[in-house]
Amino acid sequence: MPPLPPPSSETRIPLPPARALVAGYTDVLVVGAGPAGIGAALGAARSGAKVILAERYGFPGGSATVALVMPFMSGHTQESRLRQSGVEILYPTDHGRGTRVIAGVFTDVIERLVSLGGAVPPSEMTGFVTSFDPEILKFVLADLLDDSDVQTIYHVLATGYIQEEQYTTVFFQSKSGPIAIRAHCVVDCTGDGDIAVFAGASFDYGRNVDHLTQPMTHYLRMGCFERTAFMDYVQKNPSQWYGVLGLWELLQKATKEGTLNIPREDILMFASPHPQEVSVNSTRITGVSGIDIFDLSRAELEGRKQVREVVDFLKRYVPGFNDAYLIQSGVQVGIRETRRIIGDYILSGLDILNTRKFFDVIARSTYPIDIHNPKGKGTRLERLPDGQSYDIPLRCLQPKGCSHLLVAGRCISGTHEAHSSYRVMPVAIATGQGAGVCAALSALNKCATRDVDYKEVQSELQNQKAILW
Ligand SMILES: Cc1cc2nc3c(=O)[nH]c(=O)nc-3n(C[C@H](O)[C@H](O)[C@H](O)COP(=O)(O)OP(=O)(O)OC[C@H]3O[C@@H](n4cnc5c(N)ncnc54)[C@H](O)[C@@H]3O)c2cc1C
């Protein structure tokens, strides 16, 4: 059955009038409980602010738990001259030994995951990439939020925003009808910059040339994977696997035989903390927008069709998967890129490749420019020089024209190229923590977010064990 097509006319009818129930007052309201929202809620609460975290699904984690995006990319610098041929299979092979540049909330998440058996401890052997169990991540995040007295409200979809003299109010739709939450200031961690747009902020979308965004991917988890059989195949066919991706010949064979038709040239898959499980990132849905529900509906159908094809391919063609089965696909399709809210500074691809430093740094990153082709096969990867990182300035989190609103995570201010790097989860947690601290200081000092001294934000971030220099 095809999805509902987009409406052919611009006909709009008035909504019935409604009154929203005020569900809470707080210092800082964080909308979206993904990696950025977790960083923001904990950063604000640990600075002494009262915090409410609002999320449309019934659990925290955002793309990590909703779309099964795994693993956490590295928070360490790359040292390719120290590359180790012994790096374990199913982890990126080109990180090697490095220096940690992301800590704070990110480290807390990893340590708790490891202590509950929900993650393989990051090390040189894993390229400092952390594979995790998304169900255990849900427990860990809920515990961290509880420990810092963050109040959570689930099953609420933010739909509006007003800025009044005394309050910043966000409206939500819910099963209980419309509700409102009032705060001194708000951190938009929706990934899509929904709140910033309701507040009237401007945004960029996709690449400059045609405004196309990176493709979407339906992630999947496979169980009963036989690692030894797979390793035997890789050892006998070393040209067919590189760290986390490959199987080019088998893919071509399946495509020729008409059993597989995905717009991607390789299979990309990652280890899990469970030896008999892998997560597979190999579907690709192009030409769809993550902020258009008609596109999203098509993407869900196309993505799940590709999930079936990939599962069949793995089982029929790839040693180690004969008895494997599909454990789960994402609750929703994984969305790499939508709006980038225009802030006081727009981070560029050159800032990243030149490892630029900023006076008002609130987070750092080492992740390369990584653009999956918006039109089909191919991925553009441009790495930072060995041992280097770049800074993300507080100004990228300050939407132009907004006084009591910050953005964090994948919707901060940057170009398409820069976004492809800072979008990864450790960086989203770190920008979230930076935004949370700034929001808390704004609430505690009763001032606009832009009037908070960046040095105070940096000092509090360091108290919270973030690494800024
Ligand atoms: C296919 C794919 C593969 C990736 N691979 C990796 C990888 O291997 N490693 C890595 O580190 N990163 C990876 N990433 C990037 C990473 O997952 C995201 O960029 C990151 O999760 C962004 O974090 P965020 O908190 O900004 O947004 P999200 O994770 O998107 O979280 C946003 C949250 O806000 C909620 N929300 C949205 N709108 C509303 C609203 N209006 N009202 C209420 N709640 C709302 C959502 O439900 C969600 O919980 C990948 C992404 C994709 C899609």
pLDDT higher at 449 or 77: 449
237: its two tokens: 């066919």
Yes or no: say if 129 and 72 are a contact pair by the CB < 8 Å rule: yes
Containing 311, the helix (H) or strand (E) segment is: helix 293-317
Please check whether residue 300 lies inside any domain of the structure. yes
The string of DSSP codes covering 7-52 is PSS----PPPP---EEEEEEEEEEE--SHHHHHHHHHHHHTT--EE
**What confidence score (pLDDT) does residue 97 get?**
63
Please check whether residue 49 lies inside any domain of the structure. yes
d(CA 425, CA 247): 27
Containing 197, the helix (H) or strand (E) segment is: helix 194-198
Whether 266 and 301 map to the same domain: the answer is: yes
**What confidence score (pLDDT) does residue 290 get?**
98
327 CA distance to ligand 1 centroid (A)? 21
Q: Which amino acid is at 297?
A: S
Q: pLDDT for 325-380, tens place per residue?
A: 999 999 999 999 999 999 999 999 999 999 999 999 999 999 999 999 999 888 89
Mean pLDDT of 3-25: 87
Q: What range does the domain containing 293 cover? A: 220-329
Q: Which of 282, 301, 329 is the last residue of a domain?
A: 329
d(CA 105, CA 93): 26
Please check whether residue 4 lies inside any domain of the structure. no
Yes or no: say if 35 and 425 are a contact pair by the CB < 8 Å rule: yes
Provide the number of structural domains found in the chain. 3
**What confidence score (pLDDT) does residue 5 get?**
83
Angle at 410 between CA 296 and CA 269, to 5 degrees: 70
Pocket of ligand 1 (CB under 6 A): 31-37, 54-57, 62-63, 66-67, 69, 71-73, 157-158, 189-192, 194, 217, 219, 281, 334-336, 409-410, 423-426, 428
Which of 153, 269, 424 has most ligand 1 atoms within 8 Å of CB, for mutation?
424
Q: Which of 110, 132, 154 is the last residue of a domain?
A: 132
Please check whether residue 201 lies inside any domain of the structure. yes
Q: Which of 92, 110, 132 is the last residue of a domain?
A: 132
Nearest-CA neighbor of 326 among 438, 451, 225, 456?
225
d(CA 268, CA 265): 10
Whether 236 and 315 map to the same domain: the answer is: yes
For residue 438, pLDDT over 60 is answered with yes
Q: pLDDT for 416-432, tens place per residue?
A: 999 999 999 999 999 99
Yes or no: say if 173 and 392 are a contact pair by the CB < 8 Å rule: no
Average pLDDT over all residues of the chain = 94
Question: Ligand 1: which residue has its CA nearest to atom 14?
Answer: 424
64 CA distance to ligand 1 centroid (A)? 7
Taking the mean position of all CA atoms in its chain, how far away is CA 167? 29
For residue 96, pLDDT over 70 is answered with no
Nearest-CA neighbor of 244 among 278, 270, 277, 222?
270
Domain of residue 58, CATH code: 3.50.50.60
pTM of the model: 0.97
Please check whether residue 1 lies inside any domain of the structure. no
Please check whether residue 375 lies inside any domain of the structure. yes
Please report, in angstroms and rounded to a whole number, the separation of the first and last CA atoms in the chain.
54
393 strand-pairing partners = 361
